[in-house]
């Protein structure tokens, strides 16, 4: 009797703990329909009316076969990983050098979704740990139905200026499957322009700029569609199934952002750069060949990429401290930053308009879109806001006789429905970032990298490829 009472007491304690955690989770979700799950928890621990584990039991009462135990453990693990991946942490591997020296190619990160609040998944039916495509078989890892609206749960804070942020690639809403990089929209724009460049087509030459861009996109889209062996199928992806990117947030909603001679200014004040920021520098030696030891001494990433080059001219990504060290070397005759100057075409960077003749190193000023803020829109600035209005905020946008129509209504202004951010890589001259594809909407924000749990150098073989000094390194350093 005493033993039976102890068992019942233990069951009630377990139920109480489980029920409390479940109720707190429901309050966090702000969806009280989930409270209907409490009777299920009560039955699991107390009444046990439904035989939840009946599928594992054998007729003679013997121990269930090993495969059932393994299947049970696998299902539990998948559910646990799925929930952890949605609400708490996500693994991310650094694929490119855009954030060197802060984060290196081959770094594996724990990304905290609690830092900014996790998103309720917009495509809830997806396979855990696979972003959008199963490897090898190259099929979708998610179901497009059902689709839920964007909603973010409470987190520990908001995105701050200078944060390293993981986000879904905004321009990844449409993808040429075999060529996901550069973005589909840059591909069709470039192919369309190449076919119209120097064109004597009077219709094209006399069109307003926005109409020219539309014509270029149509030609480019037709080219991609007619060459499936090169580009593959053109597919659309929901927000949370777009590829993951990681960059540094340099401008917040409402900020006035600009770059002048490679220096960033926010609201007129110079932005304090982290020490690891790199720019490309042109170097001229006295004829001395820079060898592998030179690159290793300066800790230049991927030295094999440069070691075979013959002097005296070089172009290298360097931090300021590396530049200061190189200047002291007797065989260096000249070192200068590689700076791109704006031109009248406006085709160097987003929004690819002659009305915004900016470059990689001289950009803006541009005021970041902020939720609730209204801006004037015209044929002169529509390319700057086009993707925000149509692609990110789901409105229809048309231009008829130089008049802009949003959702079928003529208008000269627009009020933003979301906040937007400007993201840059620390490796400034080797980063595909907001300068090339525009603003990052708030619903694309995933989380903040916390620490490096594994780091592997792709240019070395095991075990020399393990960067032991980076294990459990804070990702923001």
126 closest CA partner among 246, 21, 239: 239
282 closest CA partner among 238, 339, 235: 339
Residue 98 is among the residues annotated as catalytic for this protein = yes
For the chain, give the percent of residues with pLDDT over 90.
50
- Which of the two residues, 294 and 246, has the higher pLDDT score? 246
Is the pLDDT reported for residue 155 higher than 80? Answer: yes
- Rounded Cα distance between 158 and 387, Å, is 24
- Which of the two residues, 412 and 62, has the higher pLDDT score? 412
Rg (CA), the chain: 27
375 closest CA partner among 209, 250, 254: 254
- Which of the two residues, 449 and 298, has the higher pLDDT score? 449
Region label for 335, one of left (φ > 0), alpha (ψ between -120 and 50) or beta (otherwise): beta
Given this model, what pLDDT does residue 425 score?
Answer: 94
The lowest-confidence range among 202-216, 273-287, 336-350 is 202-216
Helices 209-225, 184-196: axis angle to 10 degrees equals 100
pLDDT in tens, 309-324: 677 888 889 999 999 9
In order of 2, 220, 380, the CA distances from 351 in angstroms are 76, 17, 11
Specify whether the CB–CB gap between 438 and 385 falls below 8 A: no
Given this model, what pLDDT does residue 69 score?
Answer: 79
pTM of the model: 0.90
Q: What is the mean pLDDT of residues 252-278?
A: 94
- Rounded Cα distance between 427 and 432, Å, is 10
- Which of the two residues, 447 and 80, has the higher pLDDT score? 447
pLDDT in tens, 94-108: 888 888 888 888 899
92 closest CA partner among 131, 121, 51: 131
pLDDT in tens, 418-440: 999 999 999 999 999 999 999 99
Given this model, what pLDDT does residue 465 score?
Answer: 85
For the chain, give the percent of residues with pLDDT over 70.
94
Given this model, what pLDDT does residue 64 score?
Answer: 75
- Within 10 Å of residue 214's Cβ, how many Cβ atoms? 14
Given this model, what pLDDT does residue 201 score?
Answer: 64
439 closest CA partner among 167, 131, 149, 151: 167
Given this model, what pLDDT does residue 6 score?
Answer: 60
Is the pLDDT reported for residue 307 higher than 80? Answer: no
316 closest CA partner among 331, 298, 293: 298
User: What's the mean pLDDT when you consider all of the chain?
Assistant: 88
422 closest CA partner among 405, 408, 412, 436: 436
Q: Which of 97, 98, 115, 126 is catalytic?
A: 98
Specify whether the CB–CB gap between 210 and 399 falls below 8 A: yes
Is the pLDDT reported for residue 268 higher than 80? Answer: yes
Instruction: Give Cβ neighbours of residue 2 (< 8 Å, ≥ 6 apart).
Output: none
Largest CA distance in the chain: 97
Given this model, what pLDDT does residue 406 score?
Answer: 96
Residue 247 is among the residues annotated as catalytic for this protein = yes
> So where are the chain's domains?
2-87, 89-257+425-474, 279-337
Fold of 89-257+425-474: Umud Fragment, subunit A (2.10.109)
- pLDDT bin (cut points 50, 70, 90) of residue 205 is confident
In order of 10, 203, 207, 334, the CA distances from 210 in angstroms are 70, 13, 8, 43
Is the pLDDT reported for residue 186 higher than 80? Answer: yes
Exposure on the CB side of residue 392, measured as CA atoms within 13 A? 28
Q: Which of 113, 247, 258, 448 is catalytic?
A: 247
276 closest CA partner among 81, 107, 43, 52: 107
239 closest CA partner among 125, 152, 145, 123: 123
Given this model, what pLDDT does residue 23 score?
Answer: 92
């Amino acid at each position: 009797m005493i033993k039976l009472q102890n068992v019942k007491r233990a069951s009630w304690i377990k139920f109480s703990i489980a029920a409390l955690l479940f109720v707190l989770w429901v309050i966090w979700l702000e969806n009280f329909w989930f409270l209907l799950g409490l009777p299920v928890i009560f039955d699991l621990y107390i009444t046990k009316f439904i035989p939840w584990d009946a599928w594992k039991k054998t007729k003679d009462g013997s121990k269930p076969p090993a495969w059932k135990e393994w299947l049970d453990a696998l299902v539990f693990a998948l559910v646990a990983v799925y929930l952890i991946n949605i609400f708490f942490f996500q693994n991310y591997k650094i694929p490119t050098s855009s954030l060197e020296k802060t984060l290196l190619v081959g770094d594996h990160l724990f990304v905290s979704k609690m830092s900014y609040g996790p998103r309720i998944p917009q495509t809830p039916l997806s396979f855990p740990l696979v972003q959008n495509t199963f490897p090898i078989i190259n099929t979708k890892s998610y179901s497009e139905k059902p689709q839920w609206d964007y909603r973010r749960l409470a987190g520990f804070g908001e995105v701050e200026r200078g944060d390293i942020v993981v986000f879904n690639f905004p321009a990844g809403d449409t993808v040429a499957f075999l060529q996901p990089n550069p973005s589909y929209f840059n591909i069709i724009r470039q192919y369309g322009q190449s076919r119209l460049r120097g064109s004597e087509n009077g219709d094209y030459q006399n069109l307003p700029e926005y109409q020219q861009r539309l014509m270029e996109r149509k030609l480019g889209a037709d080219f991609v569609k007619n060459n499936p062996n090169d580009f593959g199928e053109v597919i659309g992806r929901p927000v949370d199934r777009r590829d993951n990117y990681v960059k540094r947030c340099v401008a917040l909603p409402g900020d006035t952002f600009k770059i002048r001679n490679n220096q960033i200014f926010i609201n007129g004040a110079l932005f304090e750069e982290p020490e690891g920021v790199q720019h490309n520098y042109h170097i001229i030696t006295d004829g001395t060949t820079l060898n592998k030891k030179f690159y290793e001494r300066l800790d230049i990433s991927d030295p094999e990429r440069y070691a075979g080059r013959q002097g005296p001219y070089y172009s290298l990504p360097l931090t300021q401290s590396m530049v200061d060290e190189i200047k002291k070397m007797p065989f260096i005759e000249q070192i200068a930053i590689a700076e791109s100057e704006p031109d009248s075409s406006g085709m160097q960077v987003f929004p690819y308009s002659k009305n915004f003749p900016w470059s990689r190193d001289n950009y803006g000023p541009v005021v970041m879109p902020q939720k609730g803020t209204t801006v004037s829109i015209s044929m002169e600035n529509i390319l700057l806001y086009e993707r925000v209005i149509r692609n990110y905020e789901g409105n229809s946008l048309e231009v008829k006789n130089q008049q802009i129509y949003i959702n079928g209504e003529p208008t000269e202004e627009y009020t933003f429905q979301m906040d937007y951010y400007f993201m840059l890589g620390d490796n400034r001259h080797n980063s595909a970032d907001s300068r090339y594809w525009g603003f990052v909407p708030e619903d694309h924000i995933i989380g903040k990298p916390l620490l490096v749990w594994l780091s592997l150098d792709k240019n070395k073989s095991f075990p020399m490829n393990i960067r032991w000094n980076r294990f459990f390194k804070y990702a923001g350093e």
